Amino acid sequence: MTVNAHSPIAADAAIPASDEAEDAIIRFEGVAKSFPARKSSAAVHALAGIDLAVPRSSVVGVIGRSGAGKSTLIRLVNGLEKPTAGRVIVDGTDVAGLGEGALRSVRRSIGMVFQHFNLLSSRTVFDNVALPLEIAGTDAATIKARVTPLLDLVGLADKRGRYPAELSGGQKQRVGIARALATQPKVLLSDEATSALDPETTRSILDLLGTINRELGLTILLITHEMAVIRAIAQRVAVLDAGRIVEQGDVFDLFTRPQHETTRSFLAAESGRELPAFVADQIQAEPIPGGQVVVRIVFRGPFATHPVLSQVTRELGIDVNILGGAVDSIAGRPFGTLIVGLPNDGTSLDKALAFLKERDLDTEVLGHVA
Ligand SMILES: Nc1ncnc2c1ncn2[C@@H]1O[C@H](COP(=O)(O)OP(=O)(O)OP(=O)(O)O)[C@@H](O)[C@H]1O
């Protein structure tokens, strides 16, 4: 199967491509979206100052809590919402400037996958996947030629005659993905596609989306509230908090060097970052005389944790108490996290932190224990 290479977007709405714009298939430039006040409620500023580029053929994740503005952001891409300020440029065209006819063509170049699948219960698997093609007026022979390989791709060839009620959640989402691909889109928008699924099924759906990204070169913009989803599939990530992007970048960097408090809180349950229960139970913000300072050390890339810590002991004469840790990898790049206790004696902490920094290790003081 090939992905449609020609743009369905009206020529008069085209924007001259700069080098950067050519590289990004979706670009938010200074985007704001407010919903006006109603009788019973004040105006809602759902998004403000959004600058985000989605490189062609990449997977970009947007993570945020409920109400952060994720759905609004994704609805701006297919023109279901219009920005109050700024531009949303999809494949060189500002979608906010388009009339309904041109928007319909843009939407055909954008596939969408939903949390609750949105399948028609009265239609078979085959007919659900065929639906967008029927709506576009495609003839029956072309529909068959298009839908059959899509059902193979998502692993549902043997379920083509089944109805949604006869499918598991994961199978329903596979139908949703095949349907989203039926019009050969250039971009796939995923709105919490795995939120209704158990962890194992989530994994298999994310694997499928990863395969589609790699094999078809399809760009995927996904929104989620789970770091595990970002980690499993995205190359870049933006963290959305109360309508603003508070941090964005490469997934490995964001996981290993989070800058913003919101990002840190999303990462709290990630391996190695979670405090061991016996530490979490007693940690406090204020120093404890004669106690220990709890420090997280992050090793990025090839590392040898123990030699560095034994150097701290040998060369600085500081006892290091290992409280927890893990070794992990993201996108094939290794990193490790150690949680250690250092003596709260007025000097050891600064000396040890300086020593670790000289060796290019990231540290973060988490609190104090007795
Ligand atoms: N049509 C609308 N009219 C008024 N306010 C809206 C509208 N759509 C969204 N909002 C508000 O905009 C803010 C962002 O909503 P949005 O649905 O984009 O968040 P979200 O991050 O997708 O949340 P969730 O994960 O719960 O779906 C919320 O305060 C919401 O109430």
Q: What domains can you pick out in the chain, each with its CATH number?
A: 11-109+185-267 (3.40.50.300), 277-369 (3.30.70.260)
The DSSP symbol for 181 reads H
DSSP letters along 219-269, please?
EEEEEES-HHHHHHH-SEEEEEETTEEEEEEEHHHHHHS--SHHHHHHHTT
More confident residue, 100 or 156: 156
**Closest-lying ligand 1 atom to the alpha carbon of residue 68:** 21
pTM of the model: 0.85
Report how far ligand 1's centroid is from the alpha carbon of 49 (Å): 16
Question: What per-residue confidence (pLDDT) applies to 215?
Answer: 92
Report how far ligand 1's centroid is from the alpha carbon of 223 (Å): 13
pLDDT above 80 (res 304): no
Question: What per-residue confidence (pLDDT) applies to 22?
Answer: 52
What is the distance, to the nearest Å, from the Cα of residue 129 to the centroid of all Cα atoms in its chain? 26
Q: Of the given ranges (19-28, 217-226, 273-282), which has the lowest mean pLDDT?
A: 19-28
Question: What per-residue confidence (pLDDT) applies to 306?
Answer: 62
Is the sign of the CA dihedral 109, 115, 120, 122 positive or negative? Answer: positive
pLDDT above 60 (res 27): yes
Nearest CA to ligand 1 atom 11: 46
Highest-confidence range of 183-187, 276-280, 306-310, by mean pLDDT?
A: 183-187
Nearest CA to ligand 1 atom 7: 35
Nearest CA to ligand 1 atom 17: 71
Q: Of the given ranges (21-30, 138-147, 163-172, 281-290), which has the lowest mean pLDDT?
A: 21-30
Categorize the per-residue pLDDT at 335 as very low, low, confident or very high, splitting at 50, 70 and 90: confident
For the record, the structure tokens of 281 come out as: 């139970």
Kindly state the average pLDDT of the residues 243-262.
Answer: 94
Nearest CA to ligand 1 atom 13: 46
Question: What per-residue confidence (pLDDT) applies to 39?
Answer: 85
For residues 46 and 36, give the distance between their C-alpha atoms in angstroms, rounded to a whole number. 10
